[in-house]
Amino acid sequence: MATATKIDRRTEIRQTARKMFKERGYAATSMRDLAREVGIEAASLYNHLSSKEELLHEMCFDMAEQFFQAFSVAVADEKSPAKKLRAAIKAHIHVIASNLDGSTVFFHEWIFLQDPELARFKKLRSQYEQGFRDIVQKGVADKDFKEVNVKLAVFTILSALNATYDLYKSSEKLSEEEIAESMSNLLLKGLKK
Amino acid sequence: MATATKIDRRTEIRQTARKMFKERGYAATSMRDLAREVGIEAASLYNHLSSKEELLHEMCFDMAEQFFQAFSVAVADEKSPAKKLRAAIKAHIHVIASNLDGSTVFFHEWIFLQDPELARFKKLRSQYEQGFRDIVQKGVADKDFKEVNVKLAVFTILSALNATYDLYKSSEKLSEEEIAESMSNLLLKGLKK
DNA sequence: ACCTTTACCTAACGAACGTTAGTAAACAAT
DNA sequence: ATTGTTTACTAACGTTCGTTAGGTAAAGGT
């Protein structure tokens, strides 16, 4: 059982760390805070991890991978830019909804990464955004979308999507599908009749 | 000149603090870091402020006031919900563009406020959001807007707007007016032709 | 039965934290 | 000329930080 126990503790520590980094932020969460929450001494944490920053690093890059994975699967099935965009939006929201703590850390705490990884992280982010821009660009080229500023449009879309983790802590009972549907409609068809 | 010098230092400290809280976050900015940037000793800061948290507190509530002020001025001039919304969007973006450091702190660092002020801050935020919801609600009632989920629509709009501070550090030469115009169009008329 | 590994502990490291006390110099007001 | 205020300093306070060293007891494999 040694291995199984270890994996459980490992997972528990990472889960707890995600929740605490989300709630108080990376810089304001101490290893002693984390240890207390897990129920062991701070020094004992180091049997399961090599540094505080490693925790953050893992969270950020794990989420990045999930976003990439979900995007490429979602987009592959669709033909038109509009459908691709809707699918990408839905996939993005799904990843957030399935990883509320992790995605919050991903969006807010990546600034505390140190520079070889920080640069790699930024590059991944911009690649991901490029995927959205390619879809919108194609839509404009096809005369299916208006002649918008593509960068700004994608910025607007992703900014709205990236805030959706906030929706799940309110008392409103909105499902993932409702959120994705409403946001897609608003962004594609607008508020005006 | 004693008074003038004091005001200058006071202002300089607060300006520098805004910039540093924005760049590294409140928790990761130490009073010694701040003092070094200003060019004095950490202890000397306390001639110009009473605590680190006071700095954050001032920044957050000063920005809140600016958002409220700009909103009410902008909305007062307009009649239709669509025009009110466009004006509110423009005003909101203007406040951000005129206070890039302060607004970033306002959006990201308010979690570090302590509880009497934290609660007050949250209430102010939700009042501000209600202003937007009232406009959209009116638009729906007037059959000028689609029958959207009002809370979700405003959430989407404000999430997009609140991220715009990010646009000014990119190399793109987008003016405030372009940003406000493009975002308003996208949110009101949508991406699809 | 012995040896290794795992998972925790206590103790401690040097560094950094926010903040206070006490003081000296510069300047303004009387 | 004197007094009081402002702005800075050095020194230090008690606390907390991330992390390491070294030890112990139990479990697992051979």
| B43 nearest nucleotide via C1' and CA | C19
Instruction: Give the pLDDT confidence of A120-134 residue by residue, as tens digits.
Output: 999 999 999 999 999
* CB pair distance less than 8 Å for B189 and A187: no
Chain A, nearest residue to B175 by Cα: A152
> Domain ranges in chain A?
1-49, 52-189
Which DSSP symbol is given to A164?
A: G
Q: Does nucleic acid strand C have an atom less than 7 angstroms from the CB of A43? A: yes
> How far apart, in Å, are the Cα atoms of A106 and each of A59, A90, A111?
7, 18, 9
Q: Tell me, what amino acid is at A28?
A: A
> How far apart, in Å, are the Cα atoms of A155 and each of A51, A152, A174, B120?
34, 5, 24, 31
Q: Is B149 on the interface with A (CB under 8 A)?
A: yes
CATH architecture of B51-189: Orthogonal Bundle (1.10)
pLDDT (average), residues A13-19? 96
Q: Tell me, what amino acid is at A147?
A: E
pLDDT (average), residues B19-41? 96
Residues of chain B in contact with residue A150, where contact means CB-CB under 8 angstroms, are none
Q: How many CB atoms lie within 10 A of CB B27?
A: 18
* CB pair distance less than 8 Å for B191 and A192: no
Q: Which residue, counting CA atoms, is nearest to the C1' of nucleotide D20?
A: A43
| Contacts by B162-169, CB closer than 8 A, 24 or more apart | B162/A159, B162/A163, B162/B96, B162/B107, B163/A155, B163/A159, B163/A162, B163/A163, B164/A159, B164/B93, B164/B96, B164/B97, B165/B96, B165/B100, B165/B103, B165/B104, B165/B107, B166/A155, B166/A159, B167/A152, B167/A155, B168/B97, B168/B100
Residues of chain A in contact with residue B187, where contact means CB-CB under 8 angstroms, are 156, 186-187, 190-191
Correct CATH for A52-189 of 3.90.1150.10, 3.40.50.980, 1.10.357.10, 2.120.10.80: 1.10.357.10
Interatomic distance B128 CA / C10 C1' (Å):
52
Q: What is the pLDDT of residue A54?
A: 96
* CB pair distance less than 8 Å for B145 and A188: no
Phi/psi of residue B149, each to 5°? -75, 110
Residue B36 above 50 pLDDT? yes
Q: Does nucleic acid strand C have an atom less than 7 angstroms from the CB of B33? A: yes
The answer to whether the beta carbons of residues B161 and B93 sit under 8 Å apart is yes
CATH domain A1-49 topology: Arc Repressor Mutant, subunit A (1.10.10)
Phi/psi of residue A151, each to 5°? -60, -45
Residue B35 above 70 pLDDT? yes
Which tokens is B121 given?
């801050």
Instruction: Give the pLDDT confidence of B96-147 residue by residue, as tens digits.
Output: 999 999 999 999 999 999 989 999 999 999 999 999 999 999 999 999 999 9
